[in-house]
Structure formats: structure tokens, C-alpha cells
Amino acid sequence: MTSKAEAEYQRLNQLAWNERTKLHLQSEFYDVKGFLCGRSSLREIELAELSVKGKSLLHLQCHFGLDTLSWAREGAASVAGLDLSDEAITSARQLAERAAIDAEFVCGDLYQAPALLQRQFDLVYVSYGALVWLPDLHRWAETVSACLKPGGELYLAEFHPLQALFDGYDYFHTGKADVELEGSYTENAQEAQHTTVCWSHSLADVISALLANGLQLRAFREYDFSPYDCFEGLQEDTPGRFRLYHQGKAIPLVYSLRAVKEG
């Protein structure tokens, strides 16, 4: 992909997420009012698997920062969030002030995170629906590694790429961008159409990129449910757990991994 094409795709995604942010802030899906009253935005998977107490945390692709700020409430020593959308970052800063939580939020290209933040962290956190917005996972893993202290850890909780296959997308990374006019996943944004650009990445793509950039896999898990009701055809057959069935069997919808930087 040429740098010109990548810049145009980034511009389209920034515009889309700026518009989505305005809708998401008003949605029941995100429940900002509940968050400001003390509700955590974090879900059972990451809460069970990750302890942040006393650690510095960087949240990449943080949207408007609810998870970032929720990790601060869980005892992180410091939290920072980075996102492409300037509307999201402005809102994140406002929410941090309203919630009286000390946090740093930076707007910029993920691949420029080391230069933008100018420091390293104990933890890098990435979650749910983040990787499809990135054209190059090797550059992503290189960025994650550069943002971690030696011995620091990446925690990733992400939607399983097999689910995207059922929606008609490639499982394997082809390098081809999927450019679409689509709505968002919140209940108030289904009809708000924005041009978005995404890329497919297999599990092998994710793990290989991490290993190639000095990150050693320490844990890997798969889950037959999503903690979010954000795909067509999901059934909430257990409270807070949404499943998708194929020929009567629940398919994997989420995976998580932990990877530690060498040194």
C-alpha cells in the first residue's frame, strides 16, 4: 500500500470515528451516565485475566476512554490513552475531568505512539474491535514493543476473526482494504452511515507479528461468547454472554492473549 493510500484511509476512518463518537456518547451501549456514577465499562474476561494495580498502563485505540478510566479505578498507577479521533480524545479528557480521574489522552496515529508518548509502560492494553482498523500488524507489534518497558506486558482481548468470516469477510490477511459505507454497533447509530476502511487479520498474523517483535506469548484463550451484543444473530443465553451458533454449535467470538517483552 502506498503512503498516500494509507493516509487517505486514515482520514476516512478519522472522519467516521469523529461522527461515531458523537452518537456513542449518547448511547445506552456505552452508558456514560452510569460510568460517571461509578459503573465500570470493563467486562468479565479482562477483569478476570488482568491485574493493573500499581502499574502504568497505555490503552491503544482507546475511543473516548471509558476502559482507560475504568482501569484507573481498578488501581493502575497511571493511565494513558491514544486514539485517532480528535473528537474521541476531547471527550475522553472531559470525562476524566468529570470523573476526577488523573489520565493522559493523546490524539494521533497509532504507529506514531512511541514518538507521541515519549515513555514506556508496564502494560499495553488493546481490546475488542481494534485490530481490524490497522493495515499492518507487524508495525502494530513493533509499536507495542516500543511502548513497553523490558519485561512489560501486552494484554489483548479481541473479537475472534472467525466471526468475521461468517459475515462475509476474509479470514486471512490479503492486504486488500475493505472500504464500506456502514452504520455503527450502538443502538442509536445503526442508520448513521459512514465510510470506513478495515483489514482482515488471522490469529496467525497476530501471534507471528508479536513473536517477530520480541514479545513472548504467555497465555492464549478463546471464548464461545461476546461480552457485547454487537453482531447480528447473537443470543444472550447466559446473562452478559452473547453467543452465535452454527449448526447448533457456538462459534468462538473472542480470544485473549498476554505477551511479555523480552529483557
Q: What is the pLDDT of residues 227-241, one digit of tens each?
A: 999 999 999 999 999
What pLDDT was estimated at residue 4? 87
| Angle CA 57–18–189, to nearest 5 | 105
User: What percent of the chain clears pLDDT 70, i.e. is strictly above it?
Assistant: 99
- What does the alpha-carbon distance between residue 68 and residue 59 come to, in Å, rounded to a whole number? 6
Judge whether residue 177 has pLDDT over 90. yes
Residue 18 has pLDDT above 80, yes or no: yes
Can you tell me which residue has the cell 451516565?
33
Cα–Cα distance, 208 to 189 (Å, whole number): 35
In the chain, the domains with their CATH numbers are: 3-159+201-224+254-261 (3.40.50.150)
Residue 1 has pLDDT above 70, yes or no: no
How large a percentage of the chain has pLDDT more than 90? 89
pLDDT, tens digit, 9 for 90 and up, residues 244-257? 999 999 999 999 99
Helix pair 66-73, 86-99: axis angle to 10 deg: 30
Q: Which of 257, 243, 1 is nearest to 141 (CA)?
A: 257
pLDDT digits (tens, 9 = 90+) for 79-107: 999 999 999 999 999 999 999 999 999 99
What would the pLDDT profile of 33-80 be if each residue is shown by its tens digit?
Answer: 999 999 999 999 999 999 999 999 999 999 999 999 999 999 999 999
Residue 2 has pLDDT above 90, yes or no: no
Amino acid in the structure at residue 75: G
Rounded CA-CA distance 219/71 in Å is 20
**C-alpha span between 5 and 257 (Å, rounded):** 31
222: three-class secondary structure by DSSP:
strand
Place of cell 471509558: 66
3-state DSSP assignment of residue 8: helix
Residues 131 and 120: their CA atoms lie apart, in Å, by 21
Query: Average pLDDT over the chain, rounded to whole?
Result: 96
Spell out the residues 6+ positions from residue 33 whose beta carbon is closer than 8 angstroms to its own: none
Would you place residue 108 in the very low, low, confident or very high pLDDT band (cuts 50, 70, 90)?
A: very high
Q: For residue 76, give the DSSP letter.
A: B
Burial of 73 (0-12, 13-18, 19+ CB in 10 A): middle
218 pLDDT exceeds 70? yes
Band (135; pLDDT cuts 50, 70, 90): very high
The pTM (predicted TM-score) of the whole model is 0.96
Residue 222 has pLDDT above 70, yes or no: yes
Q: What is the pLDDT of residue 175?
A: 87
